[in-house]
Structure 1
C-alpha cells in the first residue's frame, strides 16, 4: 500500500517566521531547552526540515518545541500553532487536591522520581488567578464520611515546621520525600473530608504552605519542572483558601526559580505580580517581596529600580517584629543575600562577596543547608575574583556542612570545588583542600 503523503507543516513555518529563526537556530534552541528536562537531543537543521515537511517528533519533544517558542515569544504556544499533534495535557484548573495527589504519589516513588525531576520548566505557564469566590471552600468540603477540625489543621502546620527543620539540618533530599508522603497519605484525604467553612479554609491554607515548601525543595534540588508543578498547586490551594499571603509568597518563590534559571524578564514579572497581588501586609512580607523585585530588576539591568527596591526592603525589614516563620521567612541573612545578587548582576563582584559574608554572619546557626549554599556561592565568587586563599578557607567551611547534607545543590557546589581547585597552582593551601575534597568524596560514596 502506498504511504500517504505528508502535509507540509505551514503552522511551524509561520512560527519560525515570527521568531526570525532558521532551521539551524531552532534546532539548537530545542536542544538547549530539552537538556533542562534531561533529554539529550541532537537535532540539526535537517531535523527541522523533516518537521517542516510534516514529520512528527515524539511526544516529549513536541512539548520541548512548544516551550522553546514560548520562551522566545514570551507567551504560551498551543500545539496547533506548532502544527504538531497535541501531547496529553495535564489537568487544567480543576480542584487542587486531585492534581496534588497525582504529583505527590509520583514523587513518593523512587523509581519515578528521577523521571519526574526531569520534567520541563515552562517560562510561559498560565497561572491560577486569585479571585474572591467563597464558593471554592464549600466545593472543597464534600467528603461524606470523615470530618476534620482544627486538630488536623495544627497537625499540618506542625509537620510543615518539622519538615522545614529537617530541610535546614539534613537537606532537601531527605525532607522532600517526607513532605510528599504526608501530602498524599494525610493531607489529601483531609482536604476531601467535610468540615466547617472556617476549618476548610484553614486546612487549605495550611496545605498551601506545605505544598509551597515542597515545591521550593524540588526547585532547590534543581528539579525545576516538578517544583513548578508543586508551586502551581500551592497557588490553587491558596486561592481556594482565600490566603493572599501564601499566594503571593508562592509567586515570589516562582520568581526566584525563574531567576535561578536565568529568565530575568520572567523573574521580574513574577516578582512584580507577587507584590501587586499582596494585600495590606506586614513589613516582613513587604520586605520579602521587594527583595525579589530588586533581584529581578538587576537581572534586566534596571539599576535605578533595583536599588529603589532594596531601599524598600531595608526599610520594611527594619519595621518587622521578631517573629519569622519557618516557611518562606525573611530576615537579615536573606536581605544581604538579595543585595549580593543585585550587586553581582550589576557587575560589582567585590561588593557581592562582601554582602554574602554579611549574610553568613546573620544566618541562624541551625540553617545548615542554607549556609552550605551561601558558602559554596561565596567561594565561587572569591575564586572568580582571584582570591584563592580566601576561597579555599570558604570551601573548607562549606565542606564542614556538606559532608552531613544530602542536597543536589550542595553536590553542584562540590563539583565546582573539585573542578576549580584542580585548575589552581600547586600551593600548600590548595593541596590541603584537594586532599580533603578527595576524602569527602570517598565518604559520600560510601554513605
Structure 2
C-alpha cells in the first residue's frame, strides 16, 4: 500500500451508505478478487488503513469500486472512492500516448508469472521479467516507428491481424491466441499510437486498433480474467471517444454490456445496452442493430420486464428482414446475416425461457444453432449446450442426449472457460437424469470428456459473447 495519510472521507461515506462493516467490505473485496483469479487476504485492519488514507495497489481500487457498485445499485468509480492517486487521474489522450502506455502496462500482467498471488505485497510495475517489458519501462526512450502510421499498407496489415485474431477467437476460444494479441497490442500497436499522423488512413487505423483492443477484452473475458477484460474494454472505449468513432464506441459499449450481464450486474448491463444502441449510427448494418436490440431484450427479461423484452425482440426480428449493410463492411454479407439471425434467435430463446414458454424457446434455440456458420465454433458449442438444457427442461431426454453428444464431439481442443463451464453445468444437470439408455450414455461421456482447459468454477454463468 502507498499513499498520503489524509483521511479518505469519500470511502468512509460510501461505506456508511452501503451499511457495510469494515470486515464485510474486506470479505467482499476478497471474493471479488477470486472472481478474477486473484488471491487476496484483506481484513478489517486493511480497510481501516484505507479509511485513514492508504491506497491499495491496482487492481484492488477497481475491486472496491465494483463491490460498492453492486451494494449501492449505482455506478461507483475509483475516483468516487477517493482511492485514485494524483498521477492516476487521466488528463486526456490527445495524441494517444496514454492509451499506448495502458496497452504496454496491461501486457505486464501476462509477462509476470503469479502476478495475482503477489498482488497484496508487490506492485506489478516492478516485477518485470528480463526482456519482457517495454523499453521505456526500463529507463530508456520508447521506440517510435520511423515511418508514419498513416499509410495504406499499415491499415491493410492491421486489418489482416484483426481478421486473424477474430477467427482464432471464434474457432478455438479466447485462451488460444490471447497472449499473442496482448503482445501485439503492447509492442506493435502501442509504438504506432505514439507517432503523430492524420488523414483517412490514420482514422481507419484507430478504428482497427479499437476493435483489436475490444477483442482482447473479449478473449480475456473468455479466459476468466475479468478485471483484465474490463481494463481492455475501458481502454478501447477511451480511444473510441478520442477518435470520435461512434460505431466503434457502440461496439465496445455492447461488449461491456455483455460482460456486465455475465457478471450478474443486470441494471448496469441494461444501461450499457441502451447506450450501445443509442450510439449505433443510423447507417450501420441492420443485422448489427438487430443483434444489439436482441441483447437489450434479454437484459430487460433479466429484470422481469417481459413486455419491454417482447417489444424489443419484435423490433430485432423486423431489423433482420431489412436489407442493406454498413459502408466498408469487411465480412461476407451472407455470413453476417446468418450470424445476426443466430444471435437474435438466441436472445429470443432467453427471453421466452425467462417467461416460461419453453417449447417456443427450444424452437428459437434450434434456429440459432442451425444458423451459426461452422467458423463460429465456440458460439455453436455454447448454443448447443443451451439447447441441451432446454431439451432437458421439456423432458426430451433422447434429443438432449443427441445435442449434448454433438457438443462433446467439438468441445475438445477449444480453449474457452465458457465452454468448460457449459460442460460442467451439463454434467451437473445430467447427474439427475433417469437411468434410461440415452441419459446413462450421455452421463458417461460427460464424466470422461471434460475439456482439458479451464478451471472448474461451480455456479459460474456462461453466455453468448456478442
TM-score for both structures, normalised by structure 2: 0.76
1:49 to partner: Cα distance: 9.5
- Further displaced range: 196-205 or 93-102: 93-102
Q: Encode CA deviations 1:257-276: one digit per residue, 9 max, x unaligned.
A: 11111111111100111122
Contact 2:298-2:347 at 8 Å conserved across structures: yes
Q: 1:202 to 1:296 in 2, by over 3 A?
A: same
TM-score for both structures, normalised by structure 1: 0.79
Contact 1:107-1:116 at 8 Å conserved across structures: no
Q: Encode CA deviations 1:269-302: one digit per residue, 9 max, x unaligned.
A: 0011112223322323322321222122112222
Q: 1:164 to 1:11 in 2, by over 3 A?
A: closer
**In structure 2, how many angstroms separate the alpha carbons of the residues matched to 1:147 and 1:325?**
24
1:280 aligned to 2:282? yes
1:101 to partner: Cα distance: 2.5
1:299 aligned to 2:302? yes
Contact 1:191-1:200 at 8 Å conserved across structures: no
**In structure 2, how many angstroms separate the alpha carbons of the residues matched to 1:20 and 1:66?**
15
Q: 1:326 to 1:29 in 2, by over 3 A?
A: farther
1:228 aligned to 2:230? yes
One of 348, 366, 374 as aligned partner of 1:339: 348
Equivalent residue runs for 1:204-219 within 5 Å: 204-219=206-221
Gaps of 5+ in 2: 120-142, 455-466
SS in structure 2 at match of 1:145 = coil
1:207 to partner: Cα distance: 1.0
Give the length in aligned residue pairs: 414
Q: Encode CA deviations 1:113-144: one digit per residue, 9 max, x unaligned.
A: 87799xxxxxxxxxxxxxxxxxxxxxxxx967
Partner of 1:317: 320
SS in structure 2 at match of 1:201 = helix
Partner of 1:75: 75
Gaps of 5+ in 1: 1-5, 118-141
Equivalent residue runs for 1:60-209 within 5 Å: 63-73=62-72, 74-76=74-76, 81=81, 89=88, 93-94=92-93, 95=96, 96-106=98-108, 108-109=110-111, 111=113, 145-148=146-149, 149-209=151-211
**In structure 1, how many angstroms separate the alpha carbons of the residues matched to 2:86 and 2:356?**
43
**In structure 2, how many angstroms separate the alpha carbons of the residues matched to 1:68 and 1:163?**
33
**In structure 2, how many angstroms separate the alpha carbons of the residues matched to 1:72 and 1:280?**
37
RMSD, aligned α-carbons: 3.8
Contact 1:107-1:177 at 8 Å conserved across structures: no
SS in structure 1 at match of 2:321 = helix
1:35 to partner: Cα distance: 3.0
SS in structure 1 at match of 2:147 = coil
